Each structure stands twice: as C-alpha cells, then as structure tokens.
Amino acid sequence: MKIALAQINTTVGDLDGNTKKIINQIEQAKKQDANLVVFPELAITGYPPKDLLFKKAFVLENQKRLLEIQNATSDIGVIVGFVNSYFRERASDKIYDMAAVSHFSDMILTNAACLIDNQKILGIYEKIWLPTYDVFDEKRYFEPGKEAKVFGFCNKKIGINICEDLWVSNGPIIQQVKNGADLIIVISASPFFVGKWRIRKELVKKQAVANRVPIIYTNLVCGQDDLIFDGGSFAIDAQGNLIALAKHFAEDLLTIDIDSPMPVKDTEETEEFEVFNALVLGLRDYVNKNGFSKVVLGLSGGIDSALVCALAVEALGKERILAVIMPSPYTSEASIQDAKTLAQNLEIELLNIPITEIYNSYLKTLADPFKGKKLDVTEENIQARIRGNILMALSNKFGYLVLSTGNKSEMAVGYTTLYGDMAGGLAVISDVPKTMVYRLAHYFNQKAGKELIPKNIFIKPPSAELKPNQKDSDDLPPYETLDEILNLYIEENKDREEICKLGYPKDLVVDVIRRVDRNEYKRKQAPLGLKITPKAFGFGRRMPITNKFQ
C-alpha cells in the first residue's frame, strides 16, 4: 500500500484555499499511485482556529468543505482533519446560558479525522487527548473523543491518532493495536521549538517499538501568527527505523510504500539551521498571509536589527525590505556606518531619518513640566518612541508592516521601550535569546560565505545608544549569564532557590527574576512574537500583571 504524506501549508480561516489545496494534493497523490493520502490535523480550518470555533457558520462551512473533499476523492483514500459537530438540546448542562459567555452549548465540537475511500466516508476518529497547556486551549472548544477505533482499509487495519493522542503513555494506540491495528497514522499540527523535531521522532520511535506497529506522522507546515509548524513529516517502522522523511519548513508530498519500506537517513542539522529557517517561515507567512507588500524596520547598527534584516531578506527578498536608520545625538558614527554597510551588503533600500530635531522639540515642549528634574530614562524612552512613531508613520503612509527587533533577553528583563523599539506588527526575534541572536547571525554569514553582516557588528559591545557612552553591560549582567538564568526561570520553570543551587549568585538571580516579573505589563502590549523555544512570552505564558508573589 502506498501512502502519500501531504504536508501542506494551511491558513486559518481560509476554508476555500485550504480545501482547494487539499483537492489539488489528492490529484497529485493519485498521479503518484498512492492508495491513501494523509493531511494534517484540522487541515480544512487551519490550526489553531481559536475562537473562530465559536462561530457556528465557521463550523458548518468547514463541514461543507469536507463534502467537497469527499466528492473529489475518487479511486483513492484520504484522511483529513476537520471539525466535527453535533447538535444537542440547548442548555442540557447549563442553567444559565449566553452565547458570548460560554461557547454555544447546543453544539458539541470534536477535533476529528475523516477517512474517505472512493467518495465514501469509511470512518471518523475523534481526538481523545486534548492539550490545554502552553499555547493550547483545546478543551476550550472540543469534547474529547471516546473511541480508539480501528478502520479497515486496503487490507490494512488502521488506527488514527491526532497529535496529542500519541504523546501520552496511555493513549488510543494501545487499544488500537490490541484491536488488530497494523498501522498507526498520526495527523498533527505540532508547533516548532528548537529540538522539537528530534523529540517528535524519539517519541514516535518509542511508541512504534513499544506497540510493535509502524507509525506514519503527518505534520503541518506553516507560520500562523506566533506559531511555526515545521513540517518534517515522517514514518517509523515497527522496529523503530526511520523509513520516510519529508522536507522541513516547506510543503511536501511524500509517498511511501508501507509494505516494502526502506530505511532513510535522518537529517543532521544544527540548532542554528532549525531556528533560522523557522523564523524565515514564520516571518514570510505572517507577511504574505496578511497581505503586506513590504516590511519596514529600523537599523541601529546593532546585532538584533541586523539579524532581523537578514531574516527578512531571506524570507521576502531584498526588494520587499525598507530599512531606516534614525540617528539621535547619541548615535555613534560607527553605528551609522555599520548600518549602511549592512544595507549595502544586503542590497536593500535604506532611508536616513535623523530624529534630533524631533527630539529637541520634545525636550523644549516638556521643559516646563520637567523643570527641576534630572535627565533619566524618560529622555531615553522619548528617543525610542520617536523612532517607533517614524516607523509607524512609514507603515501608515506606504502600507508596509513594521518589524520590531527586540530579542528575548531584553523582553524578559524589560530592557526595551513600550511603543518605542517594541512598536511593530511582528516581533521577529522576541523569543530568541541574545546569545542565540549572535549564533544565528554567524550562521547567516556562514551560509552566504561572506560577511554580509559586518564583523564590527559582532565585536562591538551591545548598546542602546540612548545616552552618552551607554552599554548594555552597565545595566545588565553579561548576556551569557543572563540567558542561562532566564532559560532556567522561564523555560525550565525553576524557582529562585533551584536556580541559586546551580551556582548563580543569589543577588543576581533575585534581580533577574524581579525584572522578569515586573515587566509583564510591557509584554502584555507586545506585538506577536515568533515562538522558537519551549516557552515563549505571549499566549503560552499567562501571568497576572497584578501579582504580589515573589
């Protein structure tokens, strides 16, 4: 039996576009003589559809698209993810009910997979394990499925799993194999973080060997707001060998003969490769799916904006980038020169818009209310906000998307200006720690075989250049140490005592944690940031702002 893994790039809410793509892939799979073509989780709606699921019209439209797909499935089998629903008596378990307060209680939804063969629906499997952690909210929308069904198809007995189902040790696979399943097919939408693809494969190998059954794993590939789905669909035989591997970070239609599988070599790529390509995909999809012709960003002469610029060129091409250098009285000549060299190397358009005159007009206007007060961070923030305003003005005038360039280390400790350098529609590297920023910039130069990002940008000490002789190291611990502590606190969720026990000075740990905690209010208003670590700020980390716990 030949199975095609249809690793497609869906868009949330684009029922027409997703359906068209699915039907097109079914035709392609037929040409490759596939018996069965498998699509990702919720392929019809895109993932995650979030509160669109509270719109009945959306749910019912998604089912109309399933019928279209059914009709297009002649002489081939298809497994496709969709939202199943059934009506029930209103208010069956709610005394008080209001559409907006709870979800509509007269309609139950499940996260489902439909197995279609030659225009007939052979079976529906409904996801049993609904994740409700990190960025996932599936219990907000779905009822869990109840049956670990097995479906006969092409002389095989197939057990379908949907994503999380396979990540638990007591999932449906056990019952399915007991009931005779000789092939497990997983449809998933598994968001990227660095190292995730290896974790996914280890997991599936473990399950295949433990249950003595081959497993086919189809993943989504796309950027959707903060989330990146990295593709890399694959198959593992019952002995734990990798027998198929689709592309990472790109669409693919990979056909495998499950009856005569051949081991394939796993990719060996660096973390830098992974993260760089993930960011490129996330950036490209956000810009294109939201209909922007170009992006605009500020170049400071520093490493963060240089990396974002490089990512944008990679994602969109040099013609779609407008870079702006906005020198203030505290901007060094070296920074201006570094930014210019970078723009030349990348062959992108560069505007030079000095902010000194605007800055002076603020100082003059505020002289009276600020009388008797010393210069402080206020004046630094004014500079950052003028730059934010200029980028937004260019965005308003020309319709370009503003990319913000802050990294995760800064965002964590609040070393960043709300409405200033935080302004923008997409925070490209807000989940990338500073130390990883350098690694990605090196990777970019290495890939190009030349120093597109000028050497000087790597070696000069990081500075916000918002007052004379300012350096990040005046206010922050060295980034190597800071990033280690941040990783322990945010991603590994360790507390103060646990981190101190690892050998970090208590004062430093206390200070870093205090900074992270008290900057929730800033991050509340941050733009969407692309998630590349197990725990990003944003939707997957829901901290109260009013919070006295220390």
Contacting its own copies within 280-299 (CB under 8 A): 285-286, 289-290
Which uninterrupted H or E stretch holds 164? none
Shortest distance, position 514 Cβ to its own copies, whole Å:
13
| Rounded CA Rg of the chain | 26
CB within 8 Å of 130: residues ≥ 6 apart: 111, 136, 138, 139, 142, 144, 164
Amino acid at 113: A
- Decide: is 265 part of the binding site for its own copies (CB under 8 A): no
3-state secondary structure at position 174: helix
Per CB under 8 A, the list member of 73, 219, 381, 463 interacting with its own copies is: 381
Binding segment for its own copies among 20-28, 30-38, 90-98, 474-482 (CB under 8 A)?
90-98
User: Does residue number 134 form part of the binding site for its own copies (CB under 8 A)?
Assistant: yes
In what helix (H) or strand (E) does residue 103 lie, and over which residues does it extend?
none
Which residue is it, tokens 């629906």?
121
Task: Compare residues 54 and 125 and give the one whose CB is closer to its own copies.
Answer: 54
Footprint of its own copies on residues 239-258 (CB under 8 A)? none
Q: Does 15 bind its own copies (CB under 8 A)?
A: yes
Please give the Cα distance from 49 to 27 (Å, whole number).
26
Interacting residue with its own copies among 239, 344, 365, 473 (CB under 8 A): 365
Cross-strand partners of 389:
none
Concatenating the DSSP letter of every residue in 455-521 gives HHHHHSPP---SSTT--HHHHS--HHHHHHHHIIIIIS---HHHHHHTT--HHHHHHHHHHHHHTHH
Please identify, among the stretches 35-43, 86-94, 179-187, 465-473, the one whose residues bind its own copies according to the rule CB under 8 A. 86-94
Which position among 493, 502, 506, 514 is part of the footprint of its own copies (CB under 8 A)?
493
In the bound complex, what is the minimum distance in angstroms from residue 56's beta carbon to its own copies?
7
**Number of residues counted as binding its own copies (CB under 8 A):** 113
Tokens of 31: 């040409």
Asked if 93 interacts with its own copies (CB under 8 A), we say yes
Binder of its own copies out of 100, 146, 450, 468 (CB under 8 A): 100
Which range in 32-40, 102-110, 114-122, 174-182 contacts its own copies by CB under 8 A? Answer: 102-110
Q: Which of residues 470-489 bind its own copies (CB under 8 A)?
A: none
Single-letter amino acid, residue 152: G
Q: Is 169 in the site for its own copies (CB under 8 A)?
A: yes
Calculate the alpha carbon distances from 223 to 126, 228, 369 in Å: 25, 4, 46
Asked whether position 504 contacts its own copies by CB under 8 A, the answer is no
Enumerate the active-site residues. 41, 127, 163
d(CA 149, CA 126) in angstroms, rounded, equals: 9
> Binding segment for its own copies among 148-156, 372-380, 448-456, 462-470 (CB under 8 A)?
372-380
Cβ-contact 321, 309 below 8 angstroms: yes
Strands 227-230 and 221-224 turn out to be antiparallel
CB of 231 to its own copies, least distance (A): 18
Residue 353 vs 448, nearer CB to its own copies: 353
* 52: DSSP letter: G
Q: What does DSSP assign to residue 400?
A: P
Residues 6+ apart with CB under 8 A from 427: 403, 404, 406, 411, 526, 527, 528, 529, 530
Least gap, CB of 245 to its own copies (angstroms): 19
| Using rule CB under 8 A, residue 491 touches its own copies | yes
**Closest separation in Å from C-beta 417 to its own copies:** 9
Q: In whole angstroms, how far apart are CA 231 and each of 142, 245, 411? A: 24, 10, 28
For residues 416 and 464, what is the distance between their CA atoms, to the nearest angstrom? Answer: 9
For residue 201, CA distances in Å to 175, 232, 418, 536 come to: 22, 10, 40, 23
For its own copies, the binding residues in 298-357 under the rule CB under 8 A are: 351, 353-355, 357
Measured distance CA(342)–CA(306) in Å, rounded = 7
CA–CA distance, 346 with 385 (Å, rounded to integer): 27
Quote the CA–CA distance of 257 and 139 in Å, as a whole number: 36
Residues 6+ apart with CB under 8 A from 396: none
502 touches its own copies (CB under 8 A): no
* Residue 411 in contact with its own copies, rule: CB under 8 A: no
Between residues 50 and 515, which has the closer beta carbon with respect to its own copies? 50
Out of 139, 212, 471, 514, point to the residue binding its own copies (CB under 8 A).
Answer: 139
Q: Which stretch binds its own copies (CB under 8 A): 196-204, 249-257, 265-273, 471-479?
A: 196-204
Of residues 65, 248, 385, 387, which one binds its own copies by CB under 8 A?
385
Binding flag, residue 225, its own copies (CB under 8 A): yes
Residue of 6, 13, 124, 249 that binds its own copies (CB under 8 A): 13
Q: Is 123 in the site for its own copies (CB under 8 A)?
A: no
Single residue of 1, 24, 30, 103 touching its own copies by CB under 8 A = 103
Sole binder of its own copies in the list 167, 217, 438, 444 (CB under 8 A): 167
The residue among 373 and 450 lying less far from its own copies, judged by its C-beta, is 373
